[in-house]
């Protein structure tokens, strides 16, 4: 607790005292801030972002709830947007072969050095839609937002594995039953998951030119069609020649799970987030939850999904 709070500003420490809190997954507590459960350092980053960030109309923002394919989406959109600078057909010099996507596409809540970013700027975030819109310049500039979501059953399993992998070996494992209860109660980083998804989903319905919602499962099923839609949405559609040359397929291949997982940088490197990249690549499968969840857990979570997403049109 002390260790974590050492880096917080006085303003943030005072704010934390006024917020509801619950036991966290990775940190002692998660705090309910602007309607979502966040770690203290995330709240500080959101505050700083809301106060200081200056958005440009040409910005592209990749939004996700953690463990729904952020790393993959970063790789794909980086490759699409930079395909004139970095050839994907003759890809020997492609940055994704020696950098993790997190080193190429910053989370803007981590306040990167903006001067280093080429135009159009590409950012990622886990910040919920409502909190993004509390940022004046984003509201005015309305940059393009791509939201990737994933079946909550798989996102839960992915999150649970991830937290256990990062947990110091001196601590007992984080039991699946405990994690599951927290997840169902909405208590997970940037949760409740349904509220996170609905924020972006509803906006994508209202402003389809501003927010594109993609699903992990559909991206796995048909990566090429999704990449075409993505490129079109981003204002840099693939030409007929590019498609003929195989550019779209090469991007899908370059960013595929097996390719990325087996790169040296992702086997042994550390990304800017200061943890080992290998933890970002586990199985990359659709439906791995069947191997971990009991029938009653599946029933419970499915019911929550049905209830919370009811009438929204968002289904998994």
Q: How far apart are CA 123 and CA 108, in angstroms?
A: 6
CA atoms of 169 and 179, how far apart (whole Å) = 18
Q: Tell the burial category of 269 from Cβ atoms under 10 Å away from its Cβ (0-12, 13-18, 19+).
A: middle
Residue 103 interacting with ligand A3P (CB under 6 A): no
Interface residue with ligand A3P among 158, 204, 271, 277 (CB under 6 A) is 158
Is 123 a binder of ligand A3P (CB under 6 A)?
no
Give the shortest CB-295-to-ligand A3P separation in angstroms.
20
Output the smallest distance, CB 104 to ligand A3P, in A: 13
Interface with ligand A3P by CB under 6 A: which range of 36-44, 91-99, 112-120, 281-289? Answer: 281-289
Q: Does 283 bind ligand A3P (CB under 6 A)?
A: yes
**52, 98, 102, 126: the active-site residue:** 126
Of 49-57, 129-137, 196-204, 256-264, which segment contacts ligand A3P by CB under 6 A?
A: 256-264
Interface segment toward ligand A3P; rule CB under 6 A; list 14-22, 67-75, 112-120, 300-308: 67-75
**What is the CA 79 to chain-centroid distance, rounded?**
17
For residue 206, cis peptide bond before it (omega within 30 degrees of 0): no
148 neighbors 69 (Cβ within 8 angstroms): yes
Q: Is 217 in the site for ligand A3P (CB under 6 A)?
A: no
Q: How far apart are CA 181 and CA 147, in angstroms?
A: 26
98 included as an active-site residue: no
User: Of 61, 260, 293, 305, which lies in the binding site for ligand A3P, with binding defined by CB under 6 A?
Assistant: 260
179 binds ligand A3P (CB under 6 A): no
Q: Which residues bind ligand A3P (CB under 6 A)?
A: 64, 66-72, 154, 158, 161, 255-257, 260, 280-284, 288
Which residues are annotated as catalytic?
126
């Amino acid at each position: 607790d002390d260790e974590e709070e050492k880096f917080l500003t006085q303003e943030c420490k005072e704010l934390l005292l006024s917020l509801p809190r619950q036991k966290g997954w990775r940190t002692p507590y998660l705090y309910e801030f602007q309607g979502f459960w966040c770690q203290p350092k995330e709240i500080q980053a959101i505050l700083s972002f809301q106060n200081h960030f200056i958005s440009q109309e040409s910005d592209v923002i990749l939004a996700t709830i953690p463990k729904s394919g952020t790393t993959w989406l970063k790789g794909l959109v980086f490759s699409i947007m930079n395909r004139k600078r970095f050839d994907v057909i003759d890809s020997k010099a492609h940055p994704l072969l020696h950098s993790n996507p997190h080193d190429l596409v910053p989370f803007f809540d981590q306040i990167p050095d903006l001067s280093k970013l080429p135009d159009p700027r590409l950012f990622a975030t886990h910040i919920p839609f409502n909190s993004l819109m509390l940022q004046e310049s984003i509201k005015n500039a309305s940059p393009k937002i791509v939201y990737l979501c994933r079946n909550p059953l798989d996102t839960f399993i992915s999150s649970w594995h991830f937290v256990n992998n990062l947990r110091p070996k001196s601590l007992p494992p984080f039991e699946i039953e405990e994690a599951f209860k927290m997840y169902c109660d909405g208590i997970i980083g940037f949760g409740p998951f349904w509220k996170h998804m609905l924020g972006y989903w509803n906006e994508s319905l209202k402003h389809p030119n501003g927010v594109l919602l993609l699903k992990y499962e559909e991206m796995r099923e048909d990566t090429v069609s999704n990449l075409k839609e993505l490129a079109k949405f981003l204002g840099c559609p693939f030409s007929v020649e590019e498609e003929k040359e195989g550019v779209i397929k090469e991007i899908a291949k370059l960013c595929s799970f097996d390719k990325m997982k087996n790169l040296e940088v992702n086997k042994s490197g550390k990304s800017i987030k200061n943890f080992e990249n290998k933890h970002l690549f586990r199985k990359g499968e659709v439906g791995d939850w069947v191997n971990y969840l009991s029938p009653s857990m599946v029933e419970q979570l499915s019911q929550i999904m049905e209830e919370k997403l009811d009438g929204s049109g968002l289904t998994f």
